[in-house]
Copies of this chain bind each other. A is one copy, B any other.
């Protein structure tokens, strides 16, 4: 068990904004701007949190023209969020 790496992942999820982002992106892949609107946070703040989630390998980004589409790709993260919902 790699505690360093695994706790990094949990720490990334351990922020209300990021947790909400991940949950939102599980339902709806391409909604970066929507997230900014819905969450009522500055664009730079949103972008930084998305960057953290991407660096941890929780999200991947795909460019679609001028827009960026984020998607949750970490299988364990998907399971963890499902557990939280239960």
Chain A interface residues toward B at CB < 8 A: 1, 3-4, 6-20, 23, 76, 79-80, 83-86
Contact = CB atoms under 8 A, between A and B. Distances in A.
B13 A7 contact: yes
Contacts of A79: 83
Contact of A14 (B8, B16, B84): B8
Chief secondary structure at chain A's binding surface: helix
A7 B3 contact: no
A9 to B, nearest CB: 8
9 contacts: A1-B84, A6-B84, A7-B13, A8-B14, A10-B11, A11-B15, A12-B14, A14-B14, A76-B86
A61 B7 CA distance: 23
A71 to B, nearest CB: 20
* A-B complex: 5 closest residue pairs judged by Cβ atoms: A11-B14, A10-B14, A3-B16, A14-B14, A7-B16
